Amino acid sequence: MAKPIQIGITGGIGAGKSLACKVFSILGVPIYDADSRAKSIMTTDGILISQIKQEFGDLAYDSEGNLDRVYLSQQIFNDEKKRIRLNELVHPRVAIDTEKWVSQQEGASYILREAALMFESGYYKKLDKCILVTAPEWLRIKRIKVRDPHRSEAEIRKIMESQMPEEEKKKLADFVIDNDETQLMLPQILELHRRLSNL
């Protein structure tokens, strides 16, 4: 049986990527959430666990084997080299997990691979097409403040600055879903689903 077409879906923090994915999921599209899977793999993949401990120390995990996210985020938050290094360790293990998952999705005309840093990591090059969910910066900040009240505006802006600018992402995307509150997302997703199902 032919492998399903692989479509990436991404968007900057607060753009509405997760909401779009929920709609695609309701439409019956299999979705691989790379960010959630990465978090899971970091506590279940023996090879990756030993690599992280070697790179960041045993304090990266607590006595029960759980990843100490606070410790790890402190390690990488202001250190670009360490952040890149962590991604270099995690991405290959996620890639292996993805391939295994894709091979199990028989019968689907297309599948979605959801990831926040799809373009930044270069992974989009391995996919057939890419969708970008986009929204203006002011609106994204407003949404994140409601969703994550513990984050300051400075923190939110710092996260945004670490992501590729929207205009650059638009140049790389094959399809764009506008979530700017001037048009409804649902009709855009339904039309895209129709097009992708017929590829």
Tens-place pLDDT, residues 183-196: 899 999 999 999 99
Average pLDDT for the chain: 90
Model confidence, pTM: 0.83
CB atoms within 10 A of CB 36: 10
Give the three-class secondary structure for 134. Answer: strand
Closest by CA to 72, choosing from 61, 62, 60, is 60
Name the residue with higher pLDDT: 198 or 111.
111
The pLDDT of residue 170: 94
154 burial level (CB within 10 Å; 0-12, 13-18, 19+): exposed
Q: Is the pLDDT of residue 10 over 90?
A: yes
Rounded to whole angstroms, the Cα distance separating 118 from 134 reads 14
34 contacts 98 by C-beta, under 8 angstroms: yes
Q: What digits encode the pLDDT tens for the residues 44-78? A: 999 999 999 999 999 999 988 899 988 888 888 77
Backbone angles phi, psi at 17, to 5 degrees: -60, -45
In Å, the largest CA–CA distance within the chain is 50
Q: What digits encode the pLDDT tens for the residues 154-187? A: 888 888 888 888 899 999 999 999 999 898 999 9
Give the three-class secondary structure for 111. Answer: strand
- 152 band by pLDDT with thresholds 50, 70 and 90: confident
Rounded to whole angstroms, the Cα distance separating 98 from 65 reads 23
Rounded to whole angstroms, the Cα distance separating 90 from 57 reads 16
Percent of the residues in the chain that have a pLDDT greater than 90, as a whole number? 56
Closest by CA to 141, choosing from 132, 133, 149, is 149
- Mutual orientation of helices 17-26 and 185-197 as an angle, nearest 10°? 60
9 contacts 20 by C-beta, under 8 angstroms: yes
